């Protein structure tokens, strides 16, 4: 009986000792972790960064556009206090429903890219082609929107023929830039002296410009 009680006593002591050792071992491990925390933290941080990079690469998180309040969106004005969309709409109101219908954005963007006044460019087109209502035969048949001369000739004549509307617009705008604006001829009066015969051209273009702005 005594032996059994003694065994039980010894086992209880042993459990207490083992429990104490376990706690001590845990404390030692914890201290070790704290003392080497910087190294472990660096490892953890490196892994976290790598994980984020993998996520970014997989889901293109950097390309995600977050929704923002309209008041926080930057307004980009390209000319005359207007955005490209507003300016395009303004030009389209005057370009009519014929050949140049809906080309306001293209005319505006290309004109601005050259540092030219899109109102002036559009006014010249309207004056030369009548596209505010019905475009001239030169514009409709040969995509010539500036009254330019050259070859190949439209219908065998002296006015130049272009293969497409876009090519014709490029030809007109490029001609206006390289042969006028780039040489310092950048207003209706200086352009008019070279562009057209007679003294009424500047007045006509100015009238078109005012109509475009106020339409």
Task: State the pLDDT at residue 107.
Answer: 97
List per-residue pLDDT tens for the chain, 215 residues long.
Answer: 445 554 455 455 545 544 554 454 444 444 444 454 443 444 444 544 444 455 445 444 444 445 656 556 788 999 999 999 999 999 999 999 999 999 999 999 999 999 999 999 999 999 999 998 899 999 999 999 999 999 999 999 999 999 999 999 999 999 999 999 999 999 999 999 999 988 999 999 999 999 999 98
**Residues sharing a CB contact under 8 Å with residue 90, sequence separation 6 or more, in sequence order:** 82, 104, 212, 213, 215
Question: Helix, strand, coil % (nearest 5) of the chain?
Answer: 65, 5, 30
* Greatest C-alpha distance within the chain: 136
d(CA 191, CA 58): 56
Alpha helix positions (H), 36-164: 37-59, 84-94, 104-113, 118-129, 137-142
Q: In this structure, what are the phi and psi dihedrals at residue 159, rounded to the nearest 5 degrees?
A: -85, 140
Neighbours of 165 (CB within 10 A): 15
Task: State the pLDDT at residue 197.
Answer: 86
Give the residue from 64, 67, 85 showing the smallest Cα distance to 76: 85
Contact 209, 123 (CB under 8 A): yes
* 98: three-class secondary structure by DSSP: coil
d(CA 16, CA 209): 99
pTM over 0.75: no
Say what angle helices 165-179 and 118-129 make with each other, to 10 degrees: 120
d(CA 178, CA 124): 16
């Amino acid at each position: 009986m005594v032996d059994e009680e003694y065994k039980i006593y010894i086992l209880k002591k042993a459990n207490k000792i083992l429990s104490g050792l376990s706690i001590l071992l845990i404390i030692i491990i914890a201290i070790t972790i704290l003392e080497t925390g910087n190294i472990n933290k660096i490892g953890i941080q490196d892994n976290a960064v790598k994980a984020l990079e993998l996520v970014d690469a997989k889901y293109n998180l950097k390309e995600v556009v977050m929704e923002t309040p309209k008041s926080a969106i930057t307004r980009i004005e390209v000319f005359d206090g207007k955005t490209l969309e507003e300016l395009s709409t303004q030009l389209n109101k005057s370009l009519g429903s014929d050949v140049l219908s809906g080309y306001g954005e293209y005319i505006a963007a290309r004109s601005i890219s050259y540092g030219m006044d899109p109102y002036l460019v559009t006014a010249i087109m309207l004056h030369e082609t009548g596209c505010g209502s019905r475009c001239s035969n030169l514009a409709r048949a040969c995509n010539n929107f500036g009254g330019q001369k050259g070859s190949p000739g439209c219908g065998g004549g002296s006015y130049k023929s272009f293969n497409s509307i876009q090519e014709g617009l490029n030809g007109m705008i490029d001609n206006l830039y390289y042969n006028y604006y780039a040489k310092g001829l950048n207003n209706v009066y200086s352009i008019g002296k070279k562009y057209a015969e007679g003294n009424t051209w500047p007045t006509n273009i100015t009238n078109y410009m005012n109509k475009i702005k106020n339409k």
